[in-house]
A and B are shown apart, each in its own frame.
Chain A
Amino acid sequence: MTRSRKPVVAGWFTQDPAEGGGFRLIGTRCRGCGAVFFPREDHACRNPACDGAEGDLEEVPLSRRGRVWSYTDARYRPPAPYVSDPARPWEPYALVAVELTAERMIVLGQAAPGTGVADLAVGMEVELVPGVLHEDAEHVWTTWHWRPVGGGR
């Protein structure tokens, strides 16, 4: 039996990268003022100066590339609800805060496997790639990762 792929949160990124446009984070944009939200805001615009109506938000894919605002890593196993196998030795992963120029916002994410803090630098260009957060008996839980463009420095 094959396990199905399931996004860690529904609606935050494109489900099937094979569909046109490639893998993208999905935010929402206010039709009134143009403000962009990620994670997606579906209820009402959060710009206090916007008088847009409730629900007047549309889905928008976010930029595929951005620049590293900062980065760090997790040298110790994070507590639940982060899922990891306590029977296996902990393998640190890097976390990246990425500045998206077009959206004028910063989005965090784990770095792609194999990318450590030594491979990262503030200002470096990174791109969004699909990733796997963890796997269990029924599902492969999918997420997004940031990876240096051209494989890093």
Chain B
Amino acid sequence: MSRDVAVLGVGMHPWGKWGRPFTRYGVAAARAALADAGLDWRDVGLVVGADTVRGGYPGHVAGAAFAQALGWQGARVASVYAACASGAQALDTARAHILAGLVDTALVVGADAAPKGFFAPAGGDRPDDPDWLRFRVLGATNPTYFGLYARRRMALHGDTPEDFARVKVKNAAAGAANPLARYRTPVTAAQVAASPVVADPLRLLDVCATSDGGAAVVLSSLDFARRRATADPVRIRAVSTVTPVYPRTVPDLPDIATDSALAVAPPEPAAGFRSAVVRAAYEEAGIGPEDLDLAEVYDLSTALELDWYEDLGLCPPGGAVKLLRDGATALGGRIPVNPSGGLSSFGEAVPAQALAQVCELTWQVRGLSGPRQVAGARVGVTANQGLFGHGSSVVVIR
């Protein structure tokens, strides 16, 4: 039995710093996805919201907030929070409902209105929260961890800050061709080098911004899609939402230390959690990296995009810079990565971002991406991870 679900429609509200309530972005994205699907909102069986957290709790519980804004119609509702992985978890919740036969159709929505500057934990004196502790004890922001990874690449593989800048130049070129991106101006290596250092060796233009935006996906069962005479629907073939395996031996936010590998040897391969997240998606989809036409990865920093090349298995460990320099991951290359422009061009709108990745893959495999189109794209993967150990990887196939 096929475990695919159909992507009937996708939609986004452009990313930016619009200063409006997040529900508006979510509703705009939802209406666009429903129109794309040709589905009446009143016929949606389930609405799943990727939660928007304010003040340390999902202040507006997203699923119901979007349902109310669209007009209560009595659908089943679910709301999930998994930080940056929220969108993938929301998608997986919808998929599970459909595959279990509980509903025929589901609307998945994520939207955010991000505060300016560094992400920070909720206030108060909360020493039981690792995310609070890393700020209190170390002042370790998210870019702190990105800086550690970048420096590690330089020491291990000989990557240079100029290589990191190349990632920005590549993604900015793609983003310039994307009307949904927040930053749509080409960037030069000299501009990256002239931007201030945030977390050595990373500069401001190496690190992604925080943005407002909204994304939505309408899913259905394959039977439902066929009944509507959608002959060759885009399908979601895998959603990986795995946790790490003990012991986790690479430092990761928000933790101040890794697990100890004293009692148990680290799992193989030792590449770590990110590659395990992707491997689980490949296994579920029955594909490997050689089957990919494109990928959308979480380039929270330029250097982290290079880590993802290796975690996706596009090249052996240490081979990412060669792939980049050869142009393989640029538009027109062998395996374009972040043809949307990536977080580099969007900035992160946390609960919307993993869904935005799926929107981009859907447009790409439909062949509707205009100047950003990856020729002949049929198979794509997204890769991402959420704070505290939430895996997020989705395989989209047509």
A contact residues vs B (CB 8 Å cutoff): 8-9, 30, 33-39, 46-50, 69-76, 78-84, 93-95, 97, 103-110, 117, 121-123, 133, 143
Contacts and interface: CB of A to CB of B under 8 A. Distances in A.
Interface string B56-89: 0000000000000000000000000000000000
B148 A81 contact: no
Contacts of A50: 263
Contact of A81 (B132, B258, B261): B132
B139 A74 contact: yes
Given A70-B152, A72-B151, A75-B200, A108 B256 contact: yes
Nearest to A94: B200
A46 to B, nearest CB: 7
A70 B151 contact: yes
Nearest to B145: A72
Contact of B136 (A37, A82, A97): A82
For chain B, give the interface size range: 35 or more
B144 interface: yes
Interface string B128-166: 001011011111110110011111100110000000000
B198 interface: yes
B369 interface: no
A50 B263 CA distance: 9
Given A72-B147, A75-B198, A80 B135 contact: yes
Contact of B199 (A75, A82, A103): A75
Nearest to A34: B263
Contact of A35 (B118, B143, B197, B262): B262
A18 to B, nearest CB: 23
A81 B151 contact: no
Nearest to B197: A75
Interface in B322-372: none
B256 A39 contact: yes
Q: Which 6 A-B pairs have the closest CB atoms?
A: A72-B147, A122-B155, A78-B139, A79-B120, A35-B263, A82-B139
9 contacts: A36-B262, A39-B257, A69-B152, A75-B197, A76-B118, A78-B141, A104-B260, A105-B259, A110-B138
Contacts of A143: 137
B42 to A, nearest CB: 43
B153 to A, nearest CB: 9
Contacts, number: 149
Contacts of A108: 138, 140, 251, 256-257
Dominant SS among interface residues on chain A? loop
Query: Interface on chain B toward A: helix, strand, loop, or mixed SS?
Result: loop
A107 B120 contact: no
A21 B271 CA distance: 36
Interface of B: 117-118, 120-121, 123, 125, 127, 130, 132-133, 135-141, 143-144, 147-152, 155-156, 196-202, 246-247, 249-251, 256-264
Most chain A beta-carbon contacts within 10 A, residue among B123, B250, B261, B263: B263
A70 B155 contact: yes
A103 B260 contact: yes
Nearest to B143: A72
B144 A38 contact: no
Given A39-B256, A70-B149, A109 B138 contact: yes
A107 B264 contact: no
Contacts of A49: 264
B155 A95 contact: no
A8 B198 CA distance: 25
A93 B262 CA distance: 31
B132 A74 contact: no
B137 A30 contact: no
A83 B136 CA distance: 7
Given A9-B127, A71-B148, A72-B200, A48 B246 contact: yes
Nearest to A79: B120
B261 A73 contact: no
B148 A95 contact: yes
Contact of B261 (A30, A80, A104, A109): A104
Given A9-B127, A30-B263, A48-B246, A122 B257 contact: no
Nearest to A8: B137
B260 A82 contact: no
A110 B137 CA distance: 9
Contacts of B139: 74, 78, 82, 84, 93, 95, 110
A79 B136 contact: no
A34 B264 CA distance: 9
Which of A39, A72, A75, A107 is most buried by chain B, counting CB atoms within 10 A of its CB?
Answer: A72
